[in-house]
Amino acid sequence: MTDFNRSEEHQMIVKGLRSFIEKDVLPLDEENKKYLEDERARLNEDGSLVPEFKRVIQQVRRSSAKLGYYAMHMPAEIGGGAINRVGIALAYKEVFRYGPGLNVFTLSGAEGPSPMLLQLSQPQQEKFLKPLIRGEISTCFGLTEPEAGSDIKNLKTKAERKGDSYVLNGMKTFISNAADADFAQVFAVTDPKTYKEQGYMGVTAFIVERDRPGFQVGKITRSIIDDGGQAELIFENCRVPAENVIGQEGTGFYTAMGWLGIGRLNIASMSIGLAHYLIERCVEYATQRTAFGKPISKYQHIRGMLAESAAELYAAEQMLLHAAWKMDQGDSIIQESSMVKWYATNMLFRLADRAVQIHGAMGLMKELPIERVFRTARVLRIVEGTDEIQKETIAKSLGL
């Protein structure tokens, strides 16, 4: 088995990220404590982020982009870091080891550059992709609809070709960063007959700019992590030029699936980073908190919880690195990405529950970040494919 951590390049990335987070990002956490500690103080009435907090997030993204971290997963020719999947997995893990603070904006998620945008023409890449890579603008990924969450073969949003444009009608829901995105990446049915017959073909991906007539951001829904809200995207006779098509007409679903596969590994890396963070907090707390005259770390129940957590974390980390390494060899990881996403998010959920238990009442209080990680862990079992969808994919890979 390869020793994944030994590459010099990977060690340099991890070291550089640590130094960036500790010197430039964590001090911002201190300065902006009022937003980070009191969830509601950093949100507007409708659940969107307040402008001051958005500015801080953008500051983190831009500095990270300048240092080459934010777009490290993108090719070098367009300003990315060309880092392989093992490197990306280690980087996400390292960033989330610092917990749920401003550090989480150091690397890109659905709001940042994705390999799917490499399919744009050169002029469109200049307009949309390069500013994303520089952290100057943000986007969102609009796939889910009210009647199409897991069941992605039930999309109702349609795009009809009219001359040199397409006319979009329909709606998306639960879209992260929708309220702030400069443009949305939207999936719409362009060939209803093929889509009905084949399910995977007949869907096209489009870029829709936020000021395009016929497009508006609808209601913002707030989740248990209050991260600025998930919003609806509403299209009413929204005319989009054909040059805004991402990739080939009718193949958008494959474009989306490619991105989701990578997203699954990223979610697993985040879970593993947060699990490290929790174990460190629990060891600290259990050593200094006393009950019945001795530190709670001396009690077998507490020791057992931490021992199980460490072993489960080790298993998840090896699974992740192996899947990332396989992807770097050019192998298909359809089965592995589902296994790792399911295992790592459930591992984090179990660890977060134990972390609350070990901290007692303090584990449930807003003063400590433990309860926030607990809420985040619950979300990670739904996004990028639910537990059940991952298990369905694994079952299919077994020939069932």
Which residue of 283, 310, 334, 379 would you call a contact of ligand FAD, by CB under 6 A? 379
149 interacts with ligand FAD by CB under 6 A: yes
**Which tokens sit at 13?**
């990335």
Nearer to ligand FAD, 254 or 299 (CB): 254
150 interacts with ligand FAD by CB under 6 A: yes
Secondary structure in 3-state letters for 282-310: HHHHHHHCEECCEEHHHCHHHHHHHHHHH
Residues in contact with ligand FAD, total (CB under 6 A)? 21
What counts of helices (H) and strands (E) characterise the chain?
A: 13, 10
270 interacts with ligand FAD by CB under 6 A: no
* 387-394, long-range: CB < 8 A, 24+ apart: 387/342, 387/345, 387/346, 388/150, 389/150, 389/338, 390/264, 390/338, 390/339, 390/341, 390/342, 391/338, 391/342, 393/334, 393/335, 393/338, 394/335, 394/338, 394/339, 394/342
Instruction: Show Cβ contacts of residue 205 under 8 Å, excluding neighbours closer than 6 positions.
Output: 116, 185, 186, 187, 245, 246, 247, 252, 255, 256
220 interacts with ligand FAD by CB under 6 A: no
174 interacts with ligand FAD by CB under 6 A: yes
Output the smallest distance, CB 3 to ligand FAD, in A: 35
8 A C-beta contact, residue 343 and residue 315: yes
208 interacts with ligand FAD by CB under 6 A: no
Output the smallest distance, CB 256 to ligand FAD, in A: 9
Which residue of 28, 78, 117, 143 would you call a contact of ligand FAD, by CB under 6 A? 143
Task: Specify the stretch interacting with ligand FAD by CB under 6 A; choose among 74-82, 231-239, 355-363, 385-393.
Answer: 385-393
Alpha carbon 215 to its chain centroid, in Å, reads 25
Task: Specify the stretch interacting with ligand FAD by CB under 6 A; choose among 9-17, 66-74, 145-153, 315-323.
Answer: 145-153
Which residue of 144, 204, 309, 346 would you call a contact of ligand FAD, by CB under 6 A? 144
Which residue of 64, 223, 309, 393 would you call a contact of ligand FAD, by CB under 6 A? 223
Nearer to ligand FAD, 24 or 392 (CB): 392
Taking CB atoms, the residue at the shortest distance from ligand FAD is 149
Output the smallest distance, CB 260 to ligand FAD, in A: 9
Instruction: Give the DSSP H or E segment for 183.
Output: strand 183-189
Query: Beta 139-142 vs 183-189: how paired, if at all?
Result: parallel
Task: Specify the stretch interacting with ligand FAD by CB under 6 A; choose among 26-34, 54-62, 118-126, 171-179.
Answer: 171-179
219 interacts with ligand FAD by CB under 6 A: no
Please tell me the distance from the alpha carbon of residue 74 to that of residue 80, in angstroms, as a whole number.
4
Nearer to ligand FAD, 24 or 387 (CB): 387
383 interacts with ligand FAD by CB under 6 A: yes
386 interacts with ligand FAD by CB under 6 A: yes
Task: Specify the stretch interacting with ligand FAD by CB under 6 A; choose among 66-74, 130-138, 267-275, 376-384.
Answer: 376-384
Catalytic residue, chosen from 39, 111, 384, 392, is 384
Is 111 among the catalytic positions?
Answer: no
48 interacts with ligand FAD by CB under 6 A: no
Nearer to ligand FAD, 106 or 144 (CB): 144
Please tell me the distance from the alpha carbon of residue 70 to that of residue 17, in angstroms, as a whole number.
10
Please tell me the distance from the alpha carbon of residue 74 to that of residue 98, in angstroms, as a whole number.
24
Write the burial class of residue 147 (CB in 10 Å: 0-12 exposed, 13-18 middle, 19+ buried).
Answer: exposed
181 interacts with ligand FAD by CB under 6 A: no
230 interacts with ligand FAD by CB under 6 A: yes
Alpha carbon 235 to its chain centroid, in Å, reads 25
218 interacts with ligand FAD by CB under 6 A: no
Nearest in space to 238 (alpha carbons), one of 159, 141, 140: 159
110 interacts with ligand FAD by CB under 6 A: yes
DSSP assignment string, 303-365: HHHHHHHHHHHHHHHHHHHHHHHHHHTT---HHHHHHHHHHHHHHHHHHHHHHHHHHGGGGGS
Question: Could you list the active site residues?
Answer: 384
- Site residues for ligand FAD per CB under 6 A: 110, 140-144, 149-151, 174-176, 223, 230, 379, 382-383, 386, 388-389, 392
